[in-house]
Structure 1
Amino acid sequence: MNISPLLFHRSFGLDINTAEPTDFPRVFTSFLCHDIDYDASTRFVAKKKGVRGHSRGVNCIGADERDGRWMVTGGADGSVLIWDLETEDHGDEEIKASAAVLEKDRPSHGISSIRFNPHNSSLFSTTSYSSTLSLYSLTPTNPLNLQTYPLDSHLYTHSVSPVSTSTALIAVCGFSPHIRLIDPRISSASQTLFGHITEVLSVAWSPVYSSILASGGKDGSVRVWDIRFGATCLGSLDITNPPRAANRAAGRAHDGGVNGLLWTSDGRRIISAGMDAKIRVWNTENGRNTNVIFPPVIKNKFQPEFSMVITPSHQTSGSELLWIGNEGEVLAFDLGNGKMLKRVGVPKSEVRDGVGRITGLVKRGGDGNGELYTSHALRDGKKFEGREGVTRWKARWLWKEDEDEVEEERTEKQRRLQDIFEKATRDPVRFS
């Protein structure tokens, strides 16, 4: 028995008309795709008095996408550092950590995920492998621990509802086969969602409706929930069939664990990343796979959260760009057809200095939306010398009137390369 596509569509309430993005961000993010590069000139350091760095690499990273000022990194040793990106001195090649969570307020094991409150840039939350969810408030000195929720298993990630303004419910998942919903107004879990039969690796709230949630399991399933109906999910997604009803065996979304989930801003699509090295795009109007095919370059063999970021683009009929951290490189894809548009790797000199695989990827909000930031594990047991495992990927600013000049410059370079190629193939080859 499958779910009726009409009922599935109605359960999401997807009868909305989304406005077209403005011309300015479309032009800007187009240039972000073409000219973003690894910023090797800037170092992130923890030099402030009383602030210790991440001694065992960085597990995850979170950014304030509303104002673009704050960034938080979580270490494999349980350390949490706060970075004020607006205090950067452009004449200095170092960005210094502004504060750190005190040792008494931080988890005893590694941080697994970091999220900012989408309605208040001074609040953020973390999950850890010590089975705790912690809520913090940014203060002029060290962050203040507001509440810590001890749960019953290692936690992999969490998601804060961007729509629920009154409660800002937090969905938490981990080693246990169920999802906990945390209401920050109370000191315990407000609801538990049962349905997965294995570990839950990823969870993401709908950006349109406060009651809709998606989750990914280690068994390769993707389930969709409406918390208004209690602990029963709406159904599960399947690669080749309509979504399956909750009282049936789970559909197969991936052949490996689903450790990455992301909604498009209009709520009409869900992007899932599986440990089978596949990325799939799902239409939430009918619950079906859209069959967008991405090239076989995805590397996803580690169970921690697989980070993905979406930015708008005007290049392909208004389609959006999907950015991923692909171990030692950043990739950009056209979300409409899966075409790879950009591939930039960490320089070899940085790798020799200890910069390992990418463990987290975020975009900066506010006026800094031409920047991506990544967190990195230590490579081969090395230590970062005088720096932290955080890097920036920058793009040059582009105004509308500059776009034609950029395209002409690119075309001229292509013409010169073509002339060189034709000359090389036209001249006879002589052996002495």
Structure 2
Amino acid sequence: MDARRLGEILGELAHRHRISVAQCAVRGPGGISVARAGHHDAAGAGGAAESVRLPFASVTKLFTAAVALQLVTDGDLDLDEPVRARLSPWADAASGVTLRHLLSHCSGLVCDAPGEPGSAAQAATATAAAGLLFPPGSAFSYSNAGFTVVGRLIETATGMSWRQAVTDFLLGPLDIAPAFLGGGPGSGTVRGGHVVTRNGPVPVAPAVPRAVEPAAALAGRVEDLVAFGGLFLDDRGGAARALLDDEAVAAMRQPPFDAVPFGLADAWGLGWALYGTAADRWLGLDAAGAGTACHLRVHPASGTVLAFQADSAAGAAAWDDLAALLRAEGPAVGMPPAGVTAPGTDAGADRALPDCTGRWVNGETVYRISRTAAGTAVLEDDDGTEYFLSGHGVQVFSARPAEKPDTEHLGRFLTDPESGRTTLMQFGGRLMQRAA
């Protein structure tokens, strides 16, 4: 798709979703097309004439994973060595966790480190002490804290801070000017985001605690994301191979376990979410944070890389629209599995749900499920967002946000085979345990 057509699409989406800065880059066999657009009413800013640095949010995890694989190639880290061999203290309850488990979100660790983040070392210790949700490698549960541990492993292996390591080993060679959330040396200038409310736009300042930086602290341009994505193409050049060898790339592009990231993707590699079958697989990651959106897709076989950023929480909806338009005009962009509710089905109409009311926990994160007087199951997450649940068989459910009932998310309940009781819920990438 040429830059003119891409600009037309992006401009219409920015206006529709009231986004003040939106930028997109598409790399294909014919080169790279870049477009920027903006809606002047969104945040008191007029358009996006030049590229700006926006938070990568959780796309940061891909950069952290790539540095970890560089160190594995050099023999400084081992994918299958227990973490406790490198980090001390490390709780006995998490003794089986390895780097491979951490990078694929199959460690069993909680999503976020308990208590105040503190230093990376303190956060890693607290995360292990919180215990495991499941035996390592047996299930999938998205874990920011797991990447805090990966960052700490990088620091112990290199003797550098995570910031310095990712800059020296990856950003510098890719000619990406480093930018980090949280301030401090080398932070660079990063544009904050905003949320659009009924009373107008509300700015959101970007901030990430130092301990969580390996999971979410990078920022940059769509051109930077495309440069990084190019490392994972089948036809990548010699410079890319020198930076990340074929074995490392193959490891990141393949699921190491059978665990299913239900509702998020078809599978998960070392860092990358995987969409579609192995024969026609897309790599990607979707991220939101500090009122911004960041989305990255790579199709190794065709040489396609797609990056999108927006300075608005509405960027996620704009990305969905963009992906649909691109699928209609060109590449069939890999996306999360579609919902299962038939059009026109009322939320809560199918009540084939197990007894699921009560508290569901993942570390210090708590979700609550209750039923209305009419019997509809309602889930409230840790942000206070309410979802109406509809059952599809005994395990699978769809969740529709009360404020956006036309949007659908998938989840499922898991039953203990011995007791027959519903004990686990997988939703939004997290595995939640039912509280006693």
Tell me which interval the TM-score lies in, with the shorter structure as reference length. under 0.3
Give the alignment's TM-score, normalised by structure 2. Answer: 0.25
Name the structure where helix makes up a greater proportion of residues. 2
Name the structure where strand makes up a greater proportion of residues. 1
Larger radius of gyration: 1
